Chain A
Amino acid sequence: DAKTTQPTSMDCAEGRAANLPCNHSTISGNEYVYWYRQIHSQGPQYIIHGLKNNETNEMASLIITEDRKSSTLILPHATLRDTAVYYCIVRDTNSGGYQKVTFGTGTKLQVIP
């Protein structure tokens, strides 16, 4: 079973910030939140991950609530190339980084010109 829930789809205007929410209310203290995206006909691509602090890299920002039960992936200036399915997963590194992760169906983000 997927341990996260995400909206099925979202639209975002080109150039605007895309905010993708994820609920992970059963997350444990050892579990990180990971985000991946899958552009049509390609394998999933790693975006960002975090434990409890907010994270930022060249692709996106990750905001994790203080209780860690939800997070938001922010694409600050969405482009048409950001149209993809975005997956939020939790991953326990104390098991050696391995977990039988189920990615679920993710959020299909459509960036509109």
Chain B
Amino acid sequence: GAGVSQSPSNKVTEKGKDVELRCDPISGHTALYWYRQSLGQGLEFLIYFQGNSAPDKSGLPSDRFSAERTGGSVSTLTIQRTQQEDSAVYLCASSLGAWGGGYTFGSGTRLTVV
């Protein structure tokens, strides 16, 4: 596609429920990143995928968070047993291989846990 697409754009969920956030990167971009942005805060790195390499999951805040990337394209970030502190905007970015001149970000998914 022309840009990085994320869905849903907004998600309200009850505490304790599981949620799945989707990211569709730019076609041909082999690198994919997930970031989290809490209200008034900067972007916090969560996870990185590069081609067929094992993902770097070191930014995931707890074992309730997981992500996968199928076929080197679409990625899903899953949050199990959501907590109120998980409320944030979740941003996905992709770049062209290891050196893409920069990230292209999606518009994010605003997650609200009530």
CB distance from B48 to the nearest CB of A (A): 6
* CA distance in complex: A26, B42 (Å): 20
Quick one: CB contact mask for B14-49 with A, threshold 8 Å, 1 for yes? 000000000000000001000100001111110010
Chain B stretch 87-104: residues in CB contact (< 8 A) with chain A: 91, 93, 95, 97-104
Size bracket of the A interface = 20 to 34
Residues on B with C-beta less than 8 A from A100 are 45, 48, 56, 58-59
Instruction: Give the number of residues in B that approach A within 8 Å (Cβ atoms).
Output: 29
Residues on B with C-beta less than 8 A from A97 are 31, 95, 97-100
* CA distance in complex: A14, B102 (Å): 28
Do residues A49 and B106 form an inter-chain contact, with CB atoms below 8 A? Answer: no
Chain A stretch 80-107: residues in CB contact (< 8 A) with chain B: 87, 93, 96-98, 100-106
Residues on B with C-beta less than 8 A from A105 are 40-42
CB distance from B82 to the nearest CB of A (A): 22
* CA distance in complex: A104, B91 (Å): 15
Residues on A with C-beta less than 8 A from B97 are 97
Do residues A43 and B105 form an inter-chain contact, with CB atoms below 8 A? Answer: yes
Task: Pick the residue among B35, B91, B102 that contacts A34 (CB under 8 A).
Answer: B102
A53 at the interface (CB under 8 A from B): no
Chain A stretch 1-59: residues in CB contact (< 8 A) with chain B: 2, 34, 36, 41-46, 49
CB distance from A10 to the nearest CB of B (A): 17
Residues on A with C-beta less than 8 A from B107 are 41-43
Residues on B with C-beta less than 8 A from A49 are 101-102
A87 touching B42 in the complex, CB below 8 Å, given contacts A34-B102, A43-B91, A43-B93: yes
Task: Pick the residue among A44, A87, A96 that contacts B99 (CB under 8 A).
Answer: A96
The 4 closest A-B pairs by CB, nearest first: A43-B105, A96-B98, A103-B43, A46-B102
**New A-B contacts (19) at CB < 8 Å, excluding given A36-B105, A105-B41:** A36-B102, A36-B103, A42-B108, A43-B106, A43-B107, A45-B105, A46-B101, A46-B102, A46-B103, A87-B43, A93-B99, A96-B50, A96-B98, A97-B31, A97-B95, A97-B99, A100-B48, A104-B42, A105-B42
